Amino acid sequence: MLQYALQHQKAIDTITQHRELGLRSFEMSDNKWCIVEQLQDVLKILKDAMLFFSRATPNLATVIPVMDLIDQTLATHTLNNKLLPSIHAAAGLAKKTLNRYYQFTDSSDVYRITMILHPRHKLSYFERANWGEDWIETALSLVRDKYSHSYSTSNNTEGETDEMVNLFENKSSSMVSHLFYSSTLTDPLL
């Protein structure tokens, strides 16, 4: 909607300036148009995420990297000195809201297991996302423990368990499809 308004700014200004139409209360100042333009740039990441997820059913292996990307983008906007203070505040509130829900993934065993077992992510996802070594080791231990408890049989040897763990540690490819676009890029969060 913001993009449409910006594309038709001249027509909107012309219509709202006519007194006989009774739309003067909707007339926008140059400052308000600047806010609309900057807000559109900040919200673009959310629009891209919505379009991305509308193409297929989301799963943890796709949702978590998108949440990381949204968080990183909002953080960048909160530090951008070229943006108006109102946009800084809006980006900060959006980041705070996102993180209120995102923090629950830290306590989820399923989240960690999913990311480690996913062929594209594995442990390198956490390394590229700058998670601490302790956190990465905890996630790996969780997968090892879950495997040993639920899937390991008494016939397995120690070597077989080590071989299984080595699969988690294999690095995923650094050349991946960008989250929202079809071109091949190197993205540090994927």
Summarize pLDDT for 126-162 with one digit per residue, the tens: 888 888 888 888 888 888 888 888 876 655 555 555 5
pLDDT at 183: 37
Which residues are bridge partners to 2 per DSSP? none
Summarize pLDDT for 64-105 with one digit per residue, the tens: 888 888 999 999 999 999 999 999 899 999 999 998 988 887
Q: Please say whether the beta carbons of 35 and 90 come within 8 A.
A: no
Q: Quick one: DSSP state of residue 26?
A: G
Question: Which residue's structure tokens are 């012309």?
Answer: 14
Neighbours of 129 (CB within 10 A): 17
Looking at the predicted structure, is the pLDDT value of residue 186 above 60?
Answer: no
How remote is the C-alpha of 184 from its chain's centroid?
A: 18
pLDDT, greater one: 58 or 48: 48
Q: Residue 130, SS3?
A: coil
Q: Quick one: DSSP state of residue 9?
A: H
For the chain, the structural domain boundaries read: 1-107, 108-176
